């Protein structure tokens, strides 16, 4: 009788890189299926200047993922005008050229069913986003 839980992929642990405003930044090992909140706790929790308001603490993690915990000042000073595919609302996606409310909904549905975008190229997996639409979007979005 094996007491070790094994996920369908055969992996029972994942390693995640936690950076930024946490007590002990670095690699943490979590059970498969761990969430962002678990990784932050394993890194000793956040420091007082941390701002986790834009972070989905319930997001499931995958092996090799990186989490960055910023602070209020760094979040306000972000000079990157591109839309973050993993944080964007339907309205933000709808503001992109060639993306209407239906396409924005498809992007969010793809993100939800795949846990997150790992690269902007994955946008091409969303039904309706072909090479031409992707070419117009790739400079306007980020991960």
Extents of the domains making up the chain: 13-76, 83-142
Q: Which CATH number fits domain 83-142: 3.40.228.10, 1.25.40.90, 1.10.150.320, 3.30.428.10?
A: 1.10.150.320
pLDDT of residue 53: 81
Does residue 106 have a pLDDT over 90? yes
Q: If DSSP states are collapsed to H, E and C, what string results for the chain? A: CCCCCCCCCCCCEEEEEEEECECCCEEEEEECCCEHHHHHHHCCCECCCECCCCCCCCCECCCCCEEEECEHHHHHCCCCCCEECCCCCHHHHHCCCCCCHHHHHHHHHHHHHCCCCCCHHHHHHCCCCCHHHHHHHCCCEEC
- CATH class name, domain 13-76: alpha beta
Mean pLDDT of 7-13: 67
- Res 69: pLDDT: 86
pLDDT-derived band at 127, boundaries 50, 70, 90: very high
What phi and psi values does residue 66 have, to the nearest 5 degrees?
-115, 140
Most distant CA atoms of the chain, gap in Å: 56
Residue pair 143/119 in contact (Cβ under 8 Å)? The answer is yes
Contact 104, 90 (CB under 8 A): yes
Q: Tell me, what's the pLDDT at 4? A: 45
Question: 8-17, 83-92, 133-142 — which is least confidently predicted?
Answer: 8-17
Check pLDDT > 80 for residue 134.
yes
pTM of the shown model: 0.49
pLDDT (0 to 100) of residue 2: 44
Q: pLDDT at position 72, please?
A: 62
Report the alpha-carbon distance of residue 82 to residue 73 in Å, rounded: 19
The pLDDT score that the predictor gives to residue 68 is: 85
pLDDT of 74 reads 55
Task: Give the span between the Cα atoms of 61 and 87, in whole angstroms.
Answer: 15
pLDDT, mean of residues 97-122: 90
């Amino acid at each position: 009788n094996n007491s070790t839980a094994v996920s369908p992929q055969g992996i029972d642990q994942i390693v995640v890189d936690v950076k930024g405003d946490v007590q002990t930044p670095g690699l943490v090992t979590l059970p498969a299926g761990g969430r962002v909140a678990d990784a932050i706790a394993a890194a000793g929790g956040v420091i007082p200047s941390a701002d986790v308001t834009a972070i989905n603490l319930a997001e499931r993690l995958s092996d090799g993922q990186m989490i960055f915990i910023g602070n209020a000042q760094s979040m306000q000073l972000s000079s990157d005008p591109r839309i973050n595919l993993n944080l964007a609302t339907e309205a933000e996606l709808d503001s992109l050229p060639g993306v209407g409310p239906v396409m924005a909904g498809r992007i969010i549905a793809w993100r939800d069913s795949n846990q997150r975008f790992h690269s902007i190229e994955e946008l091409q997996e969303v039904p309706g986003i072909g090479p031409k639409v992707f070419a117009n979007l790739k400079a306007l979005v980020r991960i």
